[in-house]
Chains A and B, each alone.
Chain A
Amino acid sequence: MTEIFDDLEGMRAEFNDALSGTETPEALQQVKVLFLGKKGKLTSWLKNLGSLPPEERPRAGEAVNSLRDDFESRLADRRVFLEERQSSEVERRSGLDVTLPARGRTWGGIHPVAQLMHDVVEILAGLGFSVALGPEIEDDFHNFEALNIPASHPARDMQDTFYFPDGHLLRTHTSPVQVRSMLAHGAPLRIACPGKVYRKDSDPTHSPMFNQLEGLLVEKDISVADMKGCLEVLMEGIFARPLKARYRGSYFPFTEPSLELDIECVECSGKNPSCRICKGTGWLEVAGLGMVHPNVLRSGGIDPEVFNGFAWGIGLDRLAMLKYGLTDLRVLFDGNVPYLLSGRTFSC
């Protein structure tokens, strides 16, 4: 009895040897015929089953059938293995050059100034500022009078203005939006006013049209320290790292006290005396700011004895140039696709 099973185990070992040697479907077919074919080893063995004593036949039959099932499933597994291996070979031989250009449209880009504007309003939204927009064609009241800049005031020299024949003008700053917002909403108020502004000026550092973002906060008991805090969060957000700040006294008709904010040079951090960005000073002028002048609050219908606040203005174009390392302001408005794309990481 035991010999029968020894024989079967011997056949299993023989099958394993044969199977593991197969490398092609043809060889596999030969192994199948050798063991399971009409004259195959297991088949012939099965035919000998009748010579066993009747009481041993069921167990022997069971063992032989199980061996056959095993052989068949092992043959099928090996077939899948060989076929996939063969297919992989074909795949490899017909492989792609993955460095070919992409199909479909690529090369899109958002304008750096627009990108910065979106970044800035998101940072400011986190500080509670909502975006307020207003007309680009303004009147003298909203652009000047309401902002404590009377006619013929020398401060108007600071902002050379484009006029229309009917006396309207192109806003020289987005401050008129502040006036309109105060009149519309009163205090408390936190707004950010991005937009195009215009001044009659054109040279490598001035464009007749540029993009500003002004902020206004009018609440109770606001100090210069609150203003500094907001501006520093904003600058840190824009440049994604903390930067040294320096405040200087200044003058704007619509704020009192008035300040200017310098940040450490983003190019050289003040370490390069011949730095072309900061001219060796180590500082970059980035914002005009101040506590809102009581006259401006009054123009906005707000009682300056109850509320006070601060306002600031930043030039988005200049900040975008600093952030993205651009050198000529006018190129931003030049409509030149290769230039706009040249700042990107991929190459043409």
Chain B
Amino acid sequence: MLITWNLLKDILSIPASVEEVAERLTLTGCEVESLTRPGEKLRGIRIARVNSLRPHPEKETLWVAEMDDGRGTALVVTAAPNLSAGDYVPWGRPGAVLADGTVLGAKDFGSVHSEGMLLSAEELGVPQAADEFGILRLPEDAPLGEDAPSWLGLDDVVLDLSVTPNRGDLLSLLGVAREVYALFPGSEWKKNPADLPESGAKDWPVPFQGITLKTPGCSRYCLGFVTDLKGGSSPLRVRIALSLLGMRPISPMVDATNLAMLTLGQPTHAFDALRLPAPEITVRPSRPGEKFTTLDGKSHIMAEGDMLITSGDVPVGIAGVMGGENSEILPETKTVFIESASFDSLSVSRTSRRLGIPSEAAFRYARTVDRKMAPVALKYIFSLLEEWSAGTAGFAILDRTDCPDDDRRTVPLTREKLGKVLLTDDLDEASAILNRLGIIEKSSSPEGRIFSVPSWRPDISIEEDLLEEVGRIRGYNETLAPRLPRVLYGRGDIGPVTRLKGDLRKILLSRGYVELLNYSFLSPSFISLLRLPEEDRRARPLSLANPLSAEQSKMRTTLLPGLLRGVERSVLAGWRTGIRVFELGRVFLPLPEGGHEEVEKVAGVVYGGRDGRLPWGHSEEEDFFSLKGDVLTLGESRGICLDFLRGHEPFGHEGQTARILSAGRDGGYLLRLKPAVEKELDCAPLYAFEFDLGILENPVLPNFRELTPYPPVLRDISLFVPADSSVDEVISRIRSSGGDLLQDVRLFDIYSGKGVPEGFRSLAFSLSYQKKDQTLKDEAVEEIHSTIRNTLTSFGYILR
């Protein structure tokens, strides 16, 4: 929202600089994003008269003007086609500076010595203010010799305000003036643009049946009448003001409606009186499926809840959004009906969003428009058109309303809440602040006061709203010295999940993993990359209805693709040695009964790197078992001993895939990726793990052994076991036959090949026996050891 400092000062006298006003607006909630000075660079440009104009003696396309700026005359060569002798124009003598910083000089064009330049609107920095091609011709009352930029109003400051959605009232010059009036107690009203004389009451010279309101979404509808519209353009200074406010000048009629909106905040719309289908206006809900073409030529299909302006039941406008092609004013239009209405903000907002029409009008209606401004805006437009001699006004305004004028709402402010939230009991100060905002004290009691809220502040409806007004204007920096809440209920608890994640992060950090944080979105291509079959629920990710791109259209069902991408990215970025990455985050899985669940996962991917050479030879190579150590450590940090079972994953190496189990619950996988997937990613070997954080949720307290002074006795066992028997299986058989005396079983050798029977492999274990209250005798050890040996034999293992 743009306003200019000069326009603001036409309304208010302000005892502060524009910088101070900008700072104060920013601190009180209306951020001033920038201050720009469009005429900042302009220097030495004066209003001058063309004394005479003759063709250049040698150059066909050029003219030679004799210029007079009241300080003497000089010749200037120009190519402009639009000059005549007697015109007043901006002239920059040598040394003058243009809007883009160009410094003018004198120059010879053939035999003519040219002193500086005659200037166009573009060279003055306001290209949109031009209404013809060529030099900017000034009106006849332009004072000769005066500084042209300041006479044109270019020595202004444009403030760009970022208005929050609750403050629709600040979307106008009047609104900003009211705010500044409240912020600077020394400021005074000079001329309120809404204070206008009554418009005329002449009967319309055309038959008109009236206005019908058939929807509660329109609570007031005013219609004005103007005839004898002149074409052409608005006065130059109006065009410049509009340009500075970011609007393109078009015609006096359009410019007047735009100025009314920028000044008063009230959108209006002009219908060509001859093109309106019938001499009446009805505001009604749209019929589903009804078609309508807006004045930008686009056709729309209406939905239930949209509001249409119709004439003879033919739609001529979408209420508050945009008028129709069928009744818009044309350059030759002479007579118009001007709509100035009050539409429901939610209804306009919904329609404009659905149709994707972010018009200035819809933007304002969505933020609510002061209902009282509807007739005022018409009067404002009439007065402009008359002032510019651009049309005949003075006709009565038709004002249709279906409810009484908005009674001023009342809101209380109590001493108690003022004291509680803002730590002050000064109700007089609060009342004075509110008063300057137009929020007037109506009654007073020892407990508090009652205030009445003006029509332009619909955002204020409860006591807290008044607290905000008082708080922001008193200033949150000058008052309310920081303190801590007086009651402390004890230390907070970061909770089991955050604590667990913190622990896991530290462990993975110390095991050489780098944490990645990937988007929760995936490209659907991950399903084929991971070879996920249809029946795998990870192959049925939730889809966004409105993704930014197909690449980010699915919610991840596994952390693996993001980590694999991280490895790819890192390799591309030049990381040559080993890459270990991990992520902690949620996946989104569909449930068989419908709906979905969010599951916290931890996952890691390890890649040996494009160039894993190290001075230590290959002792550093990553393999299945180095990752197994990482996963085990994650469990150990919680006192949990994770188990591993040969298993399957669609993307896992058939021979190197394990399920990770905690107390029998399958939590995820540890694997080498399928060679085909590795090939696709051009990285091999790749190892990965991923499991539910849930399996580590409940830490297990360590079960410490009793200290004993009696030393353990060690015995070894060597066996040939069938190749399909896992080490875990053999150990559990040793343990179950070993009784209380057997303390530890440790695998220390594994071998297959020469000397081992076909279909078998050789395993060697070290067993330790211990009794806590006495030294174990050899005979006792021998007895239990041979029991173990016999048991193992019974399972078909061969003792060596």
Asked if A124 contacts B468 (CB within 8 A), the reply is no
By size class, the interface of chain B is 35 or more
Known: A251-B167, A335-B570. A108 touches B596 (CB 8 A): no
Interface string of B505-517 (1 = CB under 8 A from A): 1101111111111
Asked if B165 contacts A158 (CB within 8 A), the reply is yes
Is B774 among interface residues, defined by CB-CB distance under 8 A? Answer: no
Interface string of A138-150 (1 = CB under 8 A from B): 0000000000001
Contact of A232 among B482, B542, B616 (CB under 8 A): B482
Q: Give Cα distance in the complex from A11 to B465, angstroms.
A: 108
Is B569 among interface residues, defined by CB-CB distance under 8 A? Answer: yes
Is B215 among interface residues, defined by CB-CB distance under 8 A? Answer: no
Residue of A nearest to B620 (CB): A103
Which of these binds chain A: B53-61, B307-315, B490-498? B490-498
Asked if B569 contacts A127 (CB within 8 A), the reply is no
Across-interface contacts of B518 in A (CB, < 8 A): 333, 335
Q: Give Cα distance in the complex from A35 to B581, angstroms.
A: 72
Across-interface contacts of B485 in A (CB, < 8 A): 128, 217, 219, 222, 226, 229-230
Asked if A163 contacts B544 (CB within 8 A), the reply is yes
Asked if A256 contacts B366 (CB within 8 A), the reply is no
Residue of A nearest to B349 (CB): A152
Interface string of A210-249 (1 = CB under 8 A from B): 0100000101011111101111110000000000011111
Asked if B477 contacts A256 (CB within 8 A), the reply is no
Is B615 among interface residues, defined by CB-CB distance under 8 A? Answer: yes
Is A250 among interface residues, defined by CB-CB distance under 8 A? Answer: yes
Q: Give Cα distance in the complex from A299 to B86, angstroms.
A: 73
Asked if A225 contacts B423 (CB within 8 A), the reply is yes
Asked if A130 contacts B493 (CB within 8 A), the reply is yes
Is B367 among interface residues, defined by CB-CB distance under 8 A? Answer: yes
- Minimum C-beta distance from B563 to chain A (A): 8
Is B462 among interface residues, defined by CB-CB distance under 8 A? Answer: yes
- Minimum C-beta distance from A147 to chain B (A): 14
Is B189 among interface residues, defined by CB-CB distance under 8 A? Answer: no
Known: A131-B492, A131-B495. A337 touches B514 (CB 8 A): yes
Asked if B570 contacts A154 (CB within 8 A), the reply is no
Asked if B519 contacts A333 (CB within 8 A), the reply is yes
Asked if B421 contacts A224 (CB within 8 A), the reply is yes
Known: A108-B510, A335-B569. A103 touches B619 (CB 8 A): yes
Interface centre among A126, A137, A150 (most CB of B within 10 A): A137
- Minimum C-beta distance from B585 to chain A (A): 8
Is A78 among interface residues, defined by CB-CB distance under 8 A? Answer: no
Contact of B477 among A109, A190, A247, A336 (CB under 8 A): A247
Contact of B489 among A154, A190, A200, A308 (CB under 8 A): A190
Across-interface contacts of B468 in A (CB, < 8 A): 249, 256-258
Is B27 among interface residues, defined by CB-CB distance under 8 A? Answer: yes
Q: Give Cα distance in the complex from A136 to B596, angstroms.
A: 11
Is A334 among interface residues, defined by CB-CB distance under 8 A? Answer: yes
Contact of B480 among A155, A223, A332 (CB under 8 A): A223
Asked if B484 contacts A229 (CB within 8 A), the reply is yes
- Minimum C-beta distance from A278 to chain B (A): 14
- Minimum C-beta distance from A203 to chain B (A): 11
Interface residues of A in 73-126 (CB under 8 A from B): 100-101, 103-111, 113-114, 118, 121-122, 124-126
Across-interface contacts of B181 in A (CB, < 8 A): none
Across-interface contacts of A258 in B (CB, < 8 A): 29, 468
Is B393 among interface residues, defined by CB-CB distance under 8 A? Answer: no
Asked if A257 contacts B467 (CB within 8 A), the reply is yes
Is B574 among interface residues, defined by CB-CB distance under 8 A? Answer: yes
Interface centre among B476, B547, B598 (most CB of A within 10 A): B476
Asked if A135 contacts B598 (CB within 8 A), the reply is yes
Across-interface contacts of B472 in A (CB, < 8 A): 249, 257
Asked if A124 contacts B464 (CB within 8 A), the reply is no
Interface string of A146-173 (1 = CB under 8 A from B): 0000111111011000111100001000
Q: Give Cα distance in the complex from A334 to B494, angstroms.
A: 28
Asked if B350 contacts A152 (CB within 8 A), the reply is yes
Known: A113-B517, A223-B423. A249 touches B480 (CB 8 A): no
Is A36 among interface residues, defined by CB-CB distance under 8 A? Answer: no
Across-interface contacts of A245 in B (CB, < 8 A): 482
Across-interface contacts of B545 in A (CB, < 8 A): 162-165
Asked if A335 contacts B562 (CB within 8 A), the reply is yes
Asked if A338 contacts B574 (CB within 8 A), the reply is yes
Asked if B493 contacts A162 (CB within 8 A), the reply is no
Asked if A154 contacts B349 (CB within 8 A), the reply is yes
Asked if A248 contacts B421 (CB within 8 A), the reply is no
Contact of B31 among A121, A132, A248 (CB under 8 A): A248
Interface centre among B28, B492, B579 (most CB of A within 10 A): B492
Asked if B422 contacts A335 (CB within 8 A), the reply is no
Across-interface contacts of A257 in B (CB, < 8 A): 421, 464, 467-468, 471-472
- Minimum C-beta distance from A188 to chain B (A): 7
Across-interface contacts of A223 in B (CB, < 8 A): 420-423, 480
30 contacts between A and B (CB under 8 A): A103-B614, A107-B580, A110-B509, A127-B484, A131-B494, A136-B520, A152-B353, A153-B349, A154-B366, A154-B367, A162-B545, A163-B545, A164-B544, A200-B546, A208-B521, A208-B548, A209-B519, A228-B481, A233-B484, A247-B477, A248-B28, A248-B29, A249-B27, A256-B465, A256-B468, A258-B29, A333-B517, A333-B519, A335-B562, A336-B570
Extra inter-chain contacts (11) besides given A108-B512, A257-B468, A335-B563, CB under 8 Å? A107-B512, A107-B514, A109-B509, A137-B555, A137-B598, A152-B350, A154-B345, A222-B421, A224-B480, A226-B484, A256-B468
